[in-house]
Chains A and B, each alone.
Chain A
Amino acid sequence: MQKIYNYVIVGAGIAAVSAAQGIRETDRDGSILMIGDERVPAYSRPMLTKTPLRSYELGRTIVAGGDWYREQRIDLLLGTKVLSIDNSSRLVSTSAGSYFYKRLIYATGANAFVPPIKGKDLPEVKVLRRYEDLMEVKRLCVDTGKAVVIGGGVIGLEAAFELTRYGLDVTVLEALPMLMPRFLDEECAKALERAITSFPVHTGVTIEEIGGKGHVEYVKLADGREFPCDLVIMSTGVRADIALAQASGIRCTRSVVINEKCETSAKDIYACGDCAEYGTNWQLWSQALEQGRVAGINAAGGSAVIGPTDSSMIINSPEVSMFSCGDVGKDPKKRYTTETDDNWQPDLFAVNKKFARYFEKRFYADGKLTGAIIIGNLARMQELKEQILGIKPREV
């Protein structure tokens, strides 16, 4: 006898949990089923690379404990694959059985993208998207001495810091000519590179292959340079998990297309989080949190629209910190002026001199502050965020 749920949520990450919260805010009684393919309930994905490897404890980053799901009367299925969504019959088929739904929330998130580099299938080539990935990497690191991180984005750099702290020799390879061109300008990217001293960063490189006889032994560039290593971390972005949506005829581009109410092209199906796109799909925690809530409220018959997104990028490591928020001169239609505070060699008496220094650049267009970048001490971060975004960003 197949069970009927008022709401089925495909996915069990932060967007899903936020959606469940949104539902319960609006509908105290409707039954909720949440289906996740990871073996563990929702946890903080950002903390995977923002925590030292040695002290990482999944339990400390779990978003909601077992009690919460029980109290909210959410049926939680973990380690379960969703096989198909049939919207005409309102049926979801999974590896653990099939379920009817009245409303469905699609929150499958995104998967790590691995470009087709030769050697990418060697056993020591890893991504860092899931908790399991982190444990795999730790197991591989039990002896390994050298790692190459491919991808100099936030996650790639954070991974590099933590692997270095864990005792490995790390090298970061970035294909683009500068680090994080979406969030930094050339001057700030140079400042960031200069600030990173615990591992080398090579930009503008093309990778030819990951080589080795059955195991990772080196990474080779098109220009002939070779980096010996025992572990490769691929940090080359994520792709929205849209396979199920596409198969069931929901309209997708690279992500599931939603409107400001998180409605998809299919009736009674909502989408939110890393898998969904309203305007820009930033694939950020804060966006998933916001969209999840909106999807949940609307699915439950309430009314909500997606608010502005806090799209700021932050790296926070003992060696160097970085903050970038808003439009940092990237709109070709605008004319920008900038202001720079270079406090990299601070004069003042600081208990911890390393943490006093910072390099801050502010971007203005039409007399308004549009964006800002800080490399170093992030004390001014909150203030700048509020000025740029015009709101107090929602806390996780």
Chain B
Amino acid sequence: MAFVNDKTFLYNAHLMRVFFEDLKQWQEDCIFYGIPSEISAQEYDDLFKGTDADVYIPMWASACKGHGDILIDRTTYDCIRFYKSYGYEPVYMDGNPADFLGEQLRFLEYLSVCGLKGIGNAGIVIEMFIQQFTLDTVKEFCKALKEQKAVTLTEELELVIQALQGIAAGRPLALATHIGADDFDCWQWEKKPALPVEEPHIVRAAGVNNCGGNCKLEVWVAEGCVLDISADTSIGGIQLRTCPRGRGYRHTFLTAHRLRYPMKRREARGIGKYTRISYEEAAKEIAAKIRETGEKYGPGSRYMLYSTGVCAVARPDHLMKRLLCLDGGYLQHYNSYSSAQANYITPYIYGTERTCNNPQDVMNSKYVILWGHNTAETIIGPFRNYYFAKAKEQGVHFVVIDPRQSESALTFADEWVPIKPGSDCALANAMAFVIFQKNLQDQEFMNRFCVGFDEAHMPEGVPVGESYKSYLFGLQDGVVRDPKWAEQICGVPAETIERLAVEYATAKPASIQPGLGVQRTFIGENSIRAIAALCAMTGNVGIPGGGAGGTVTPNGHYEAQEMFKPENGCTYSTPVFLWSRIIDRWETMTAENDGIKGADKLPCGIKLLFSLASNVLINQHADINDTKRILSDTSKCELIVNSDLFYTPSVRWSDIVLPGASLFETETMPSVWNSDDYVLYSNQCTKPLFGSVFEYEWIKMVAKDMGLYEAFTEGCETRRDWVKRIYEEDLLPHEPELPDFETFTKEGGHMYAGPCEEPVAFSKQIREGVPFNTPSGKIEIFSRQLYDMHRKDISGIPKWFDGPEGPTDYAGLNRYPLQLTGYHTKRRCHSIHDQNQWMEELDPPALWINPRDAVLRSIRSGDLVEVYNDRGTVRIPALVTDRIVRGAVAMSQGGWYTPDEKGVDTRGSINVLTYTYKASPVANGNPQHTNLVEVRKYEAE
């Protein structure tokens, strides 16, 4: 037998255990053993406590056993079972999972002591344990340690490596022993009888990411280990099953790359080097900064960055906003990154955002146009794809209009209409032209319910020629907006435009469903308005099987959001897309040019920035290089507080970093998108990893430091308390069908008995003549409010205009001849899951490029290419395919910004190439899908 259980083994195990458990003790012991110990606390933390973004050393059996860098999995469970069968209760050193190398060594120490005390077959058990766990852990640990570029291996670390390898290989080092085993704490340990082990059981959880397909997770848990995730089989008749992202959640959220302890930046922003601090220290500094900025600049100097990492109730940013309101408030934003243009402009047309019919209604359609709508990959509610598929089975005709032949096009479409990014308004204009020209409009509907479509139905006092028809027929400016005109802009052949218009107008009922891609352009507002005009012109608004266009938000069940916030002392707000501009040059911003609401100018910039479960800071916001420039100046934005799960690009640019809790490590009620017909509860599966906590814990500390504890918590000590309060006081009164909170959490959720009252948007208006909530009481194809703004690119009717980096920006195209559009990929949820090894197989980084554009640049599929413009360069493999319209290239959004030494992004982070210099004209929304670039084959030097 290779393993001899004697004092030598014990000394080695003990010494190595101390190395991992207690640096100070290690340094003291080193003196006794004559080992030179010079490692500083910071170097030690960088290597073993995760304080350096570029260092990763696996120290847990689960991460070393070849099933991926995952923690608390089956291997960990087996390890715990092993411990407990020998009476050992793990101590979870510094929050580490039980299969942490330090803990393994402590267990071996325990076995060794038992053996030396003459108990049991310690030698054999030691050998078995090492073979099953320690061998692989030591191997991977030592290998990683040796490979760290930042570390030179000192004599001390070499010795650690040798000692560990010696233990693992059954040949422990001979150590000089000046102190006897009696002095070790372990000699006091006694062999305990076997401990009971928890059996695997299901905990009901749910996804909390920004995904419309909020799914049920049946999580197999045992001894705090997350073993597996099963899909839903339990609620009602319809299942809320996870997609591959959901099934792979462990590979995202439980990787060994998790942030572990609270930290503070110790070098320049962006470098990724930190010093460990305590939560108390972090809270103190945050509290001080909140007070300081409030006093020095005013409440508007504090800002909560847009975030969607936790789309749930009692979410981190809402909790912090509540606290800020108790101290005077914070700068509010309006809009979202998802739907700014659509959600902002649709109320001008219909008087509300809620314009989408219930998913089931598609069964009543004859003809459906999915316009920039990719529900197969961006799950817009779990039922939509199901009903699309059913409708298709029944012979409903589907057309997909999209620059890409998306997976939705592949799955549902009878016809894919390739279109240039950002040109949808022109296409919709031309279709309207055809409908009018051929007299296919529903004149009676328009006469009753619409204003602005022709000169006879205009508001009082508007000059002649401002109607939609006048615009389309060129009565004002001589330009006829017919299919030939549109073809030049959008690339869709004139015959196709005419045919589509006729097909749509004559199929009754027909449904145009625009997605959020259409509106995320420089001309998003008018694209949405033009599409809505088509729906109104053909009488498809408010009828079963029809569609009003507009947003993707239906009239649904109540969505609980209430956080019982006190009044916000900051009474003005700004568009969500302009935060970096506010930091950079707030003094130059005005209400008119920059969409400030509630003030003409800003009294101050953003000095204190919170980024809680968000990757907007550097990654999801446009023009990354410019944002880097702005954030590098610490006199502008003085403090950035970030809580997240990993070293995201945003974390690397933050000052105070707090490790958050994943969905498995906390409990809450996810926010169901678009008020779908169900509500879920995500129960807690395990305790937070390492030193992480759900943000509420440290926010309470901040509140305490500010003397606002009672006012802030109002008796809700835990997140669950808040969720319960919100459920009982906000949700239940609106949805009395729901069960009591305890039942609700036990079941993991509730399926509503049926869709809400009005599954077809505006059916009341059309059937019963209830007025629309607009100034005219009708559908405003012409909007007086917009007309009266008399501003460039804001028109009374949905006009096409040439805009920056759009398909008619000929000056721009001269320099950068290809349009770049983004898309949501099925392998991520925004930037979540980018590190997931499973998901990488589904859709690895690629730039989609049409064969005719590729051949001109000598690019073949698989070639590494550089996509670039004035704002930066991305290096990425090319995918040459005719699934992307000619003249445009596409890259999925969400790839993590990973610059090389020259600043070239090497992962595929599209926002290196997008711009912030101009927001959309009405909403001041993000035009992130319209950009101009060039592409060249990459030649390595």
Contact = CB atoms under 8 A, between A and B. Distances in A.
Contacts of A29: none
A142 B135 contact: yes
A54 B64 contact: yes
Interface in B135-182: 135-136, 138-140, 142-143, 161, 165, 168-170
Contact of B169 (A55, A57, A139, A167): A139
B135 A139 contact: yes
A128 to B, nearest CB: 16
Contacts of B169: 139-140, 142-143
A166 B136 CA distance: 10
B73 to A, nearest CB: 11
A239 B842 CA distance: 46
Given A54-B65, A54-B66, A167-B143, A139 B136 contact: no
From B2, B169, B842, residue with most partner A Cβ within 10 Å: B169
B841 interface: yes
Nearest to A136: B2
A48 to B, nearest CB: 14
User: What bracket does the count of chain B residues touching chain A fall in?
Assistant: 20 to 34
A157 to B, nearest CB: 19
Contacts of A52: 66
B131 interface: yes
A55 B67 contact: yes
Given A55-B65, A135-B131, A142 B841 contact: no
B132 interface: yes
Interface string A33-67: 00000000000000000001111010000000000
A334 B660 CA distance: 71
Nearest to A139: B169
B307 to A, nearest CB: 32
Interface residues of A, number: 16
A141 B136 CA distance: 10
Nearest to B843: A351
A90 interface: no
Contact of A142 (B67, B132, B139, B842): B139
Contacts, number: 41
From A52, A53, A139, residue with most partner B Cβ within 10 Å: A139
A52 B140 CA distance: 14
Contacts of B64: 54
Interface in B883-919: none
A167 B132 contact: no
Contacts of B65: 54-55
Contact of B841 (A54, A140, A143, A352): A352
Nearest to B168: A142
Nearest to B140: A54
A57 B136 CA distance: 12
Contacts of B66: 52-55
A251 interface: no
B418 to A, nearest CB: 18
Nearest to B883: A349
From B67, B135, B136, B139, residue with most partner A Cβ within 10 Å: B139
A215 interface: no
Contact of A138 (B67, B135, B140, B143): B135
A238 to B, nearest CB: 24
Contacts of A141: 139
Contacts of B140: 54
Contacts of B168: 139, 142
A350 B132 CA distance: 37
A143 B842 CA distance: 35
Contacts of A55: 65-67
Nearest to A353: B862
A167 B64 CA distance: 12
Interface string A162-198: 0000110000000000000000000000000000000
Nearest to B136: A54
Interface in B70-103: none
Nearest to B137: A54
A47 B65 CA distance: 16
A55 B68 CA distance: 10
Contacts of B842: 351
Interface in A135-153: 135, 138-143
B142 A143 contact: yes
Contacts of A54: 64-66, 136, 139-140
24 contacts: A53-B66, A54-B64, A54-B66, A55-B66, A55-B67, A57-B132, A138-B131, A138-B139, A139-B135, A139-B168, A139-B169, A139-B170, A140-B169, A141-B139, A142-B135, A142-B168, A142-B169, A143-B161, A143-B165, A143-B169, A167-B139, A167-B143, A351-B841, A352-B841
Given A54-B140, A57-B132, 8 more contacts: A53-B66, A135-B131, A138-B135, A139-B170, A140-B169, A142-B139, A167-B143, A351-B842
